[in-house]
Amino acid sequence: MTTFNDNFSKQASIYAQFRPSYPHELYDYLSNLTTAHDLAWDCGTGNGQSAIHLADFYDSVYASDPSQAQIQNAFAHDRVTYHIEKAESSTLKDRSVDLITIAQAIHWFDFDKFYQEAKRVIKKDGIIATWAYGIPSIERTIDPLIKHFHDKIVGPYWPIETKSIDQEYTTIPFPFREIEPPEFYIRKRFKLEDLLGHLRSWSATQLFIEKEGYNPIDNLQMELEKLWGDLNQPKNCSWRLYLRVGKLPA
């Protein structure tokens, strides 16, 4: 397999522990759009957090990611098979997939090559869906600190590909007949340590540590502790999904 920009292997175990899972309602909605439920492809699966949910709706889930470390930390499921391969070159058969999902990953892909591959493997009446989420919303006093950390502290260390997330995926190419989806939110109860773990899983945070030689979360933690209250008390966290859904052109 050819090389790729691996932004997550170093923190793969942190990623698996602290990245929020997506709402069950999202998968229910997507599954209702496909006429058959034989095979779903979760592309750029990471630790498989989407793949295992798709297995509730599809007989088989093909989950792929080029990162061996991510696959090694993936969640096991008897209807999910994991494959270490790039999105642009799968071993799937032509016209075999009912649903393609790309969660928090498509901005890393070579769009032209991936879409060519997607159109090869998807069934004529299949569905493709890609989504991402930005920074969490917690409380009025806490949110500005997280945004400042995201934009200013680790901001210079975000890869250019992630700008499309800041633009809510409105600028990525999507050569399909689009379906207007409802809004979906990730909702979690996070203790402060969970939130800090989530921020630590960001690729920009890891690059900051690598380049600067210290962890920028240490300073943020002190500020958040002043606002959090009981550190053992979880708070409601939410992330809005930036979702695009489509079908093959007629």
Q: Which residues of 108-124 are buried (b: 16+ CB within 10 A; e: fewer)?
A: bbeeeebbebbbebbbe
For the segment 99-106, the average pLDDT, to the nearest whole number, is 97
Q: Tell whether the model's pLDDT for residue 103 goes beyond 70.
A: yes
Helix (H) or strand (E) holding 156: none
Report DSSP state, residue 57: T
pLDDT-derived band at 21, boundaries 50, 70, 90:
confident
pLDDT at 10 over 60: no
Q: Tell me if 128 sits within 8 A of 176, measured CB to CB.
A: yes
Segment 84-106 shows an average pLDDT of 97
Band the pLDDT of 3: cuts 50, 70, 90: very low
pLDDT score recorded for residue 4: 46
Q: Phi and psi for 73 in degrees, rounded to 5?
A: -100, 10
Is 153 a residue whose pLDDT tops 70? Answer: yes
Query: Which CA distances in Å does 228 have to 47, 173, 193?
Result: 30, 40, 11
Burial label, 229 (beta-carbon count in 10 A; 0-12, 13-18, 19+): exposed
> CA angle 171-43-103, nearest 5°?
50
State the number of CA atoms in the 13 A half-sphere of 235 facing the CB. Answer: 22
Q: What pTM value is reported for the model?
A: 0.89
